[in-house]
C-alpha cells in the first residue's frame, strides 16, 4: 500500500432478494422453455402432436422455445449472477432497490408477453428478435432501468478497480442495447404488426449481426463474467491469469462483433461481407480458447475437488463445452464446411452443445453454489446433484451426437449426384425419413436433460425450504487512494498510447482488407508491427507508480465503457455501413419495366400469413450457387429478388426444402392439398397441417395500410396501387379461386387466408420475371 492510500471500514447489506427472484425465474421458465423444445422435437417424429391447433404447431412453438431458453432461462440466470457478484466485487449494495425490482418484474412481464404472443403468431419472424414492437418497447425500458441501476452502482462503488467479471457485464449491457435497438427498428401498422426498416439483404445482414451477437453478448460474455467470479470461489483459487483475462476480454469483444455474416455464407450476400465474417470467425478461436484455458487452469491444484463437488463438475464441464462450441463455431464458418453444414441439423447440434453444455451447466453450477448461500444452509442432496450432472451429460451427448450424424448425413444426401449428373435423393421426404432414428435419439437426449433439470429444481427448492432467506451484512475495507502526482485524467487515458496504437492498427487492418494488393501488403506489415507493439505496451507499467495502463482504465468505469463501446462499434460499423448506405436502385428491364415488382395487396397479405405461421423456421428462401441446389430448386437466388422483403425470409434451417422458386414448381391445387394435409401429397412428410387457414378470413382491410407503411420504407408502390389496393386484392383472389376451381378444387373462399397464402407462394420464384409475364402466369394458373 502506498503512502497516498487511506483506509476506511463500511457496513454493507447486500440486496440478495433480487438474486433469489432471478434464480427461481430462471429455474421455472427454463423448465417450461425446455418442455416446449421437447414438444417441438417430438413433433418432428410425430407431426400429429400439434393436434391441428395453431398455437401448438412446431413453427409457432420453436420461436417460443428459443426465446424462452435464451431470454428466460439464461437471461434470468445471468441477472442473478450479475446482481450477486457485482455487489460483492464492487463492495456496495445495488444503487436502487426500486430499479432492481423494476428489472426483475419487468423482465418476467416480457417473458410472459413472449409466451402470450409468439404461439399466437404475433412475430417479426427475425430469429431471437421475434417479439413485436410493444414488447420491444418494454424490453428497452427494462434494459434502461437495468443499465441505469448498474452504472449508478458503479458510481457509488467502494472498490476502485473493476474486476474482470464487471468488464464482461459492462460489455453485455452496452452491446445488447445497441444490437437490440438497431435490429428492431420498425414502423408499426397495428398493435400486433410492424415492418422492420431494413429489407432483403440489408435486413439479413442486420439480423445476423444481431443474431450472432445475441449469442456473443447474451449467451457468452455475461456467462464468462460469471465464470470469472464463481469458478474461483468454488475452487477457492484466484483466476489463473489476470493478464490473460485482459487479453481475453478485449480480443473477444472486438472480434466477436465482426463475425455475423458467417450465418449467410454462400448466399446472395456480397462476397466481401462473407469473407469478413469467415475471417473474424476464425480469429475467434484464439480469444475463446484463451478464456477457456484461463477458466480450466484456475483449477490448478484443486482438481481433486472436482471428484466430490458437483458445483465444480458442472463448471468444468460447462467451460469444456464452451471450448468445444467455440472450436466448432469457427470451423462451421469456413465457407466449404458451411456449404455442407448450413441449413442442416449439424447447426442444431452445435447450438445445443453451447446452450445445454455451456449455458445449462454453468447455470446449474451457479445455482448449486448460490442457493445454499442465499438460504444459509447446505445443499439438500449432493448425491442428487451428482446424478443430475451425469443424466444431463448423457442427455447432451445423445442430443449433440445425433444431430451431428443427421446433419452431416443431410448435407451429404442433399448434394449426392448420380454418375449422369442427377440427384441421388430427389425425394426430400426420403432424406428426412432416414434421419428419424436420430430425431428420436435427440428427443431422448433432450428429455434426459430436462429430467436432470427437474432433479435440480427439486433439490434447490428443498434446500431453500430447509433454510430461510438470509440477509447478508458485511464490513468492507475501503481503500481510498488519493490521485498520485501526474496520474492521467480520463481523456488522457482514452487518447493514450495503447488506444492510439490500437486505432492505428485498425486503420492498417482496413487497408489490409481492401481489394488492392499494394495497400493490403502495407496494411499487413503495419498491422503486424502495431499489434505487437500494442500487446507489449498493454502490460508495461506506465511511469505512474506501480500502476499498469490497464489498471488505470479499470478504475474508471466511464473510460472503460467508452472504450468497450468503441471496440464493439468498430466491427458493427465496418460490417453494416457499406450495406446500409448503398442506395437501392430499382432494377429495370430493357423495356423500362421494373424487374422486381413489390408484392400485390393479396400477396403481401399472404406473405404476412407465411411470416405469422413461422414457415421460415423450416424453409429457406435462398438457393445457394451449388450444382446440386440448382438441380433441386432452380437458378441461384439473386440479391435483388428479396429487395422489397420486410422482413427477409432467407431462413437458417431446411427441415423442409427451399421455397425460393416454389411458385414455378407446383400449381394452386397442389398447395391447397398440401397445406391442408401434407401427408396426402407427400406420404412421409413431417410438415404440420394448417387446417385453420381455410376457415379464417384474411386481413384484407389493412392491406392498404401495410402498403402505405412499406412505401414510407422505400418500397416503390405507385399511387394507383394504393388507391386500388382493395379492388386489386379481390380481383387477384378471384383469379386464384378460379384457378383452383379449374384444377378441381371448388368452393374456395376468396376472403380466406389460404387463398392469400397460395397467392404469395405462387409468386415465389417470379420476382425477376417482368410484370407482364407474372400477370400471365397468375391468369394462366401457373
**Shortest distance (Å) from residue 60 CB to another protein:** 41
Asked whether position 331 contacts another protein by CB under 8 A, the answer is: no
Query: Does residue 35 bind another protein (CB under 8 A)?
Result: no
According to the binding rule CB under 8 A, does residue 638 interact with another protein?
A: no
Of the candidates 24, 1, 117, 43, the one whose C-alpha atom is nearest the C-alpha of residue 686 is 43
The least distance separating another protein from the CB of residue 304, rounded to whole angstroms, comes to: 19
Q: Are 277 and 264 within 8 A, CB to CB?
A: yes
- Check if the beta carbon of residue 625 is closer than 8 Å to that of residue 338: no
For another protein (CB under 8 A), the number of binding residues is 61
Comparison of 57 and 326: residue with beta carbon closer to another protein: 326
Instruction: Say which residues have a Cβ less than 8 Å from residue 653's Cβ, sequence separation at least 6.
Output: 343, 347, 348, 617, 618, 620
Count of other CB atoms within 10 angstroms of residue 713 = 16
**Which of 26/87 has CB closer to another protein?**
87
Q: Per-residue contact track with another protein, 680 to 699, x per CB under 8 A?
A: --------------------
- Pick 238 or 747: Cβ nearer another protein: 238
Least Å distance between CB 477 and another protein?
Answer: 9
Considering the complex, what minimum distance in angstroms separates the CB of residue 695 from another protein? 55
For the record, the C-alpha cell of 714 comes out as 422505400
Q: Rule CB under 8 A: say whether 517 interacts with another protein.
A: yes
Residues 250-279 vs another protein: string with x where CB under 8 A? Answer: -x-----------------------x---x
As measured in angstroms, the least distance from the Cβ of 92 to another protein is 12
Residue 17 class from Cβ within 10 Å (0-12 exposed, 13-18 middle, 19+ buried)?
middle
The cell for 357 is: 453444455
Residue with Cβ nearer another protein (137 or 525):
525
Q: Closest separation between CB of residue 472 and another protein, Å?
A: 5
Residues 523-552 interacting with another protein (rule: CB under 8 A): 524, 527-528, 531-532, 535, 539, 541, 546-548, 551
Q: How far apart are CA 392 and CA 445, in angstroms?
A: 8
Tell the smallest beta-carbon distance from residue 22 to another protein (Å).
Answer: 19
Which of 421, 486, 518, 747 contacts another protein by CB under 8 A? 518
**Quick check: 739 and 584 in contact, CB under 8 A?**
no
Query: Interface with another protein includes 335 (CB under 8 A)?
Result: no
Q: Which is nearer to another protein, 474 or 772 (CB)?
A: 474
DSSP state letters, 683-722: TT--PPP-GGGGTSBP-GGGHHHHHHHHHHTT----HHHH
Contact between 482 and another protein per CB under 8 A: no
Check binding of 151 to another protein (CB under 8 A).
no
Instruction: Give me the sign of the Cα torsion angle 619, 623, 629, 632.
Output: positive
Contact with another protein (CB under 8 A) among 300, 378, 465, 468: 468
Q: Which is nearer to another protein, 237 or 638 (CB)?
A: 237
Return the axis-axis angle of helices 164-183 and 200-217, rounded to nearest 10°.
160
> Which 8-state DSSP code applies to residue 68?
I
CA 769 to CA 767: how far, in whole Å? 6
Residues in the chain: 782
Do the Cβ atoms of 636 and 630 come closer than 8 Å?
A: yes
583 binds another protein (CB under 8 A): no
Distance linking the first and last C-alpha atoms of the chain: 83
Give 179 or 527: the residue with its C-beta nearer to another protein. Answer: 527
The residue to which cell 432452380 is assigned? 634
The piece of 155-163, 565-573, 606-614, 669-677 that touches another protein (CB under 8 A) is 155-163
Report in angstroms how near the CB of residue 227 gets to another protein at its nearest: 11
Longest alpha-carbon distance in the chain: 94
Distance (Å, whole) CA 643 – CA 639: 7
- CA–CA distances in Å: residue 162 to residues 32, 85, 297, 481: 36, 12, 22, 14
Question: Shortest gap between Cβ of 96 and another protein (angstroms)?
Answer: 21
The C-alpha cell at 609 is 400469413
* Shorter beta-carbon distance to another protein: residue 19 or 669: 19
SS3 (DSSP) at 131: coil
Is residue 290 part of the contact set for another protein (CB under 8 A)? Answer: yes
Q: Residue 18 and residue 194: Cα distance in Å, rounded?
A: 34
Binding of another protein at residue 5 (CB under 8 A)? no
Nearer residue to another protein within complex by CB, 16 or 645? 16
- Residue closer to another protein by CB (options 163, 314) is 163
CA dist 164 and 171 (Å) reads 11
Chosen residue from 158, 161, 320, 510 binding another protein by CB under 8 A: 161
Nearest distance from C-beta of residue 188 to another protein, angstroms: 43
Give the Å distances, CA to CA, from 116 to 122, 594, 647, 710. 9, 41, 22, 27
Q: Alpha-carbon distance 73 to 30, whole Å?
A: 4
Per-residue contact string for residues 162-191; x = within reach of another protein by CB under 8 A: -xxx--------------------------
Does 321 help bind another protein (rule: CB under 8 A)?
no
Q: Is 285 in the site for another protein (CB under 8 A)?
A: yes
Site for another protein in 215-244 (CB under 8 A): 228-230, 232-233, 236, 238-239, 241-244
| Smallest distance, another protein to C-beta of residue 276, A | 10
x/- map, 88-117, another protein, by CB under 8 A: xx-x--------------------------
Residue 680's SS3 state is helix
- In angstroms, the CA 496 to CA 515 distance is 31
Give least dist CB 640 to another protein, A: 26
- Residue 737: count of CB within 10 angstroms of its CB: 21
DSSP 213-230: HHHHHTTTHHHHHHHHHH
Decide: 454 and 395 in contact? Cβ < 8 Å: no
Q: Which residue stretch of 200-208, 282-290, 302-310, 765-773 sits at the interface with another protein (rule: CB under 8 A)?
A: 282-290
Smallest separation, CB 165 to another protein (Å)? 8
For the four alpha carbons of 728, 734, 739 and 740, in that order, the dihedral sign comes to positive
Residues forming the site for another protein (CB under 8 A):
85, 88-89, 91, 159, 161, 163-165, 228-230, 232-233, 236, 238-239, 241-244, 247, 251, 275, 279, 282-283, 285-287, 290, 293, 376, 468-476, 512, 515, 517-518, 520-521, 524, 527-528, 531-532, 535, 539, 541, 546-548, 551, 554
Amino acid at each position: 500500500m502506498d503512502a497516498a492510500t487511506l483506509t476506511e471500514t463500511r457496513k454493507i447489506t447486500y440486496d440478495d432478494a433480487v438474486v433469489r427472484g432471478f434464480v427461481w425465474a430462471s429455474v421455472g421458465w427454463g423448465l417450461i422453455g425446455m418442455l416446449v423444445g421437447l414438444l417441438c422435437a417430438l413433433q418432428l417424429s410425430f407431426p400429429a402432436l400439434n393436434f391441428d391447433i395453431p398455437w401448438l404447431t412446431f413453427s409457432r412453438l420453436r420461436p417460443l422455445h428459443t426465446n424462452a431458453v435464451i431470454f428466460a432461462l439464461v437471461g434470468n440466470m445471468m441477472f442473478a449472477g450479475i446482481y450477486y457478484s457485482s455487489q460483492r466485487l464492487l463492495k456496495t449494495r445495488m444503487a436502487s432497490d426500486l430499479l432492481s425490482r423494476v428489472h426483475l418484474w419487468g423482465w418476467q412481464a416480457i417473458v410472459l408477453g413472449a409466451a402470450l404472443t409468439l404461439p399466437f403468431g404475433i412475430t417479426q419472424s427475425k430469429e431471437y428478435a421475434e417479439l413485436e414492437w410493444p414488447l420491444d418497447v418494454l424490453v428497452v425500458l427494462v434494459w434502461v432501468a437495468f443499465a441505469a441501476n448498474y452504472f449508478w452502482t458503479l458510481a457509488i462503488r467502494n472498490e476502485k478497480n473493476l474486476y474482470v467479471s464487471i468488464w464482461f457485464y459492462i460489455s453485455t449491457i452496452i452491446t445488447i442495447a445497441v444490437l437490440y435497438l438497431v435490429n428492431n427498428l420498425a414502423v408499426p401498422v397495428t398493435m400486433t404488426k410492424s415492418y422492420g426498416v431494413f429489407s432483403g439483404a440489408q435486413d439479413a445482414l442486420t439480423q445476423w449481426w444481431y443474431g450472432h451477437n445475441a449469442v456473443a453478448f447474451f449467451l457468452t460474455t455475461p456467462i464468462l463474467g460469471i465464470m470469472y467470479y464463481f469458478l474461483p470461489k468454488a475452487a477457492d483459487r484466484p483466476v489463473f491469469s489476470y493478464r490473460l483475462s485482459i487479453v481475453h476480454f478485449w480480443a473477444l469483444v472486438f472480434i466477436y462483433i465482426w463475425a455475423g455474416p458467417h450465418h449467410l455464407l454462400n448466399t446472395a450476400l456480397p462476397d466481401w461481407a462473407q469473407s469478413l465474417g469467415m475471417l473474424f470467425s476464425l480469429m475467434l478461436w484464439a480469444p475463446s480458447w484463451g478464456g477457456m484455458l484461463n477458466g480450466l487452469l484456475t483449477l490448478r491444484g484443486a482438481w481433486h475437488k472436482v471428484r466430490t463437488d458437483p458445483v465444480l463438475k458442472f463448471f468444468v464441464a460447462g467451460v469444456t463445452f464452451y471450448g468445444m462450441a467455440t472450436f466448432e463455431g469457427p470451423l462451421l464458418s469456413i465457407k466449404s464446411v458451411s456449404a455442407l453444414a448450413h441449413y442442416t441439423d449439424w447447426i442444431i447440434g452445435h447450438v445445443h452443445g453451447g446452450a445445454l453444455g455451456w449455458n445449462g451447466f454453468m447455470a446449474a453450477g451457479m445455482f448449486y453454489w448460490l442457493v445454499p448461500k442465499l438460504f444459509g444452509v447446505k445443499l439438500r442432496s449432493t448425491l442428487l446433484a451428482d446424478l443430475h450432472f451425469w443424466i444431463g451429460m448423457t442427455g447432451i451427448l445423445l442430443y449433440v451426437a445425433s444431430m451431428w450424424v443427421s446433419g452431416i448425413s443431410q448435407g451429404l444426401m442433399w448434394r449426392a449426384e448420380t454418375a449422369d449428373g442427377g440427384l441421388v435423393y430427389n425425394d426430400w421426404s426420403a432424406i428426412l425419413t432416414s434421419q428419424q432414428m436420430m430425431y428420436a435419439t435427440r428427443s431422448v437426449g433432450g428429455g434426459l436433460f430436462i429430467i436432470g433439470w427437474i432433479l435440480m429444481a427439486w433439490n434447490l427448492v428443498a434446500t431453500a425450504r430447509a433454510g430461510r432467506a438470509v440477509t447478508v451484512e458485511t464490513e468492507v475495507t475501503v481503500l481510498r487512494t488519493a490521485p498520485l502526482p501526474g496520474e492521467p485524467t480520463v481523456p488522457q487515458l482514452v487518447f493514450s498510447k495503447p488506444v492510439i496504437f490500437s486505432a492505428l492498427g485498425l486503420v492498417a487492418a482496413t487497408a489490409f482488407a481492401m481489394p488492392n494488393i499494394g495497400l493490403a501488403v502495407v496494411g499487413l506489415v503495419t498491422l503486424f508491427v502495431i499489434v505487437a507493439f500494442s500487446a507489449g505496451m498493454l502490460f508495461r507499467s506506465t511511469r505512474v507508480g506501480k500502476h499498469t495502463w490497464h489498471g488505470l482504465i479499470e478504475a474508471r468505469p466511464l473510460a472503460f465503457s467508452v472504450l468497450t463501446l468503441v471496440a464493439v462499434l468498430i466491427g458493427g460499423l465496418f460490417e453494416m455501413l457499406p450495406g446500409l448506405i448503398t442506395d437501392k436502385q430499382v432494377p429495370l428491364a430493357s423495356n423500362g419495366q421494373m424487374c422486381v415488382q413489390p408484392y400485390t395487396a393479396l400477396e403481401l397479405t399472404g406473405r404476412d400469413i407465411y411470416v405469422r405461421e413461422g414457415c421460415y423456421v423450416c424453409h429457406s428462401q435462398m438457393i445457394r450457387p451449388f450444382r446440386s441446389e440448382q438441380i433441386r430448386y432452380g437458378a441461384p437466388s439473386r440479391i435483388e429478388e428479396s429487395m422489397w422483403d420486410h422482413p427477409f425470409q432467407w431462413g437458417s434451417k431446411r427441415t423442409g426444402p427451399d421455397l425460393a422458386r416454389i411458385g414455378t414448381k407446383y400449381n394452386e391445387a397442389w398447395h391447397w392439398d398440401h397445406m391442408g394435409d401434407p401427408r396426402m401429397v407427400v406420404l412421409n412428410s413431417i410438415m404440420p397441417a394448417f387446417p385453420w387457414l381455410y376457415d379464417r378470413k384474411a386481413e384484407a382491410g389493412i392491406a392498404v395500410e401495410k402498403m402505405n407503411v412499406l412505401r414510407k420504407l422505400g418500397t416503390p408502390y405507385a399511387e394507383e396501387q394504393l388507391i386500388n389496393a382493395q379492388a386489386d386484392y379481390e380481383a387477384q383472389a378471384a383469379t386464384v379461386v378460379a384457378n383452383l376451381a379449374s384444377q378441381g378444387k371448388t368452393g374456395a373462399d376468396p376472403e380466406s387466408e389460404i387463398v392469400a397464402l397460395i397467392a404469395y407462394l405462387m409468386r415465389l420464384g417470379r420476382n425477376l420475371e417482368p410484370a407482364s409475364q407474372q400477370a400471365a402466369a397468375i391468369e394462366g394458373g401457373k
